Chains A and B, each alone.
Chain A
Amino acid sequence: MVKVYSITSCPWCDKVKKYLKAKQVEFEEYNIELDEAAKEECYRISGDLTVPVTTVNGKDYVLSFDKEKLDALLGL
């Protein structure tokens, strides 16, 4: 399952979600502002608390809204 780590009021997170929906990619969103476990997970993956972070396997990830990198990560 594709995971998107986000925070509240984050326009770049919204862009990633919109893009994934447009590409009919199913994903789960984790708000690291409200979810302490997700926050730790996000930090473990990227070593920082910046979002959006998109990952499939919890190891490789794309930070920010970067279509090319998202396409590569998700095989679109």
Chain B
Amino acid sequence: MGIYDFVVKNIRGEEKSLADYKGKVLLVVNTASKCGFTPQYQELQALYLKYKDAGLEILGFPSNQFAAQEPGSNDEVQQFCRLNYGVTFPLFAKGDVRGETAQPLFQYLTAQKGFKGFDPAHPAAERLMAALQKNFPDYLPGDSIKWNFTKFLINREGEVADRYEPTTTPASMAGDIEKLL
């Protein structure tokens, strides 16, 4: 079973085979489904615009499993939503990314690359850890997806090259992406 064997659903509910992305460098991200302040979207969009012509594709998978509390909830609250969050890379249908109901793609990705901890240098790391311990303590053990914006980088051969936790900003991944392009 490889990454190209998976079939996922697009935002309209139609099936899309990941084999359609063969030969590209892929960044698979579980994104937030709520309409709050989510700066990683902007950084992901910036990566996409910079590298898409060189062969990068970003695939976003919205999930509401972490919807209750954003770690950065003291950030400004905007009372509107933006169509596709202002990004032009593909966003797929909303679905689960962890637990027994997780989409098979995410079961596969987390089995390929386990959880190695949050980057303590990230300003949100402490808040994120506290939020998990308080609200979702059962999310902490194991290799499962811990929060929105966990990122999996896949090389042109379809191998999962690395996993980045929400505490790694998309902008700081540019060097790793360039190596694979």
Contacts and interface: CB of A to CB of B under 8 A. Distances in A.
Main secondary structure of the interface of A (DSSP, over half): loop
Nearest to A53: B80
B12 A34 contact: yes
A12 B80 contact: yes
B80 A64 contact: yes
B80 A63 contact: yes
Contacts of B82: 48-51
Contacts of A70: none
Question: Which interface residue of B12, B82, B84 has the most chain A CB atoms within 10 A?
Answer: B82
B11 A33 contact: yes
Contacts of B113: none
B36 to A, nearest CB: 10
> Chain B interface residue count: which class?
10 to 19
Contacts of B49: none
Given A33-B11, A34-B12, A11 B80 contact: no
Main secondary structure of the interface of B (DSSP, over half): loop
> Chain A interface residue count: which class?
10 to 19
Question: Which interface residue of B35, B82, B83, B94 has the most chain A CB atoms within 10 A?
Answer: B83
A32 interface: yes
B33 interface: yes
B34 interface: yes
Interface of A: 7, 9-13, 32-34, 39, 48-52, 63-66
28 contacts: A7-B81, A7-B83, A9-B33, A9-B64, A9-B94, A10-B81, A11-B34, A11-B35, A11-B81, A12-B35, A12-B80, A12-B81, A33-B83, A33-B84, A39-B83, A48-B82, A49-B82, A49-B84, A50-B81, A50-B83, A51-B80, A51-B81, A51-B83, A52-B80, A63-B80, A64-B79, A64-B80, A66-B79
Interface of B: 11-12, 33-35, 62, 64, 78-84, 86, 94
Given A9-B94, A51-B83, A52-B81, 4 more contacts: A12-B80, A34-B12, A39-B83, A66-B79
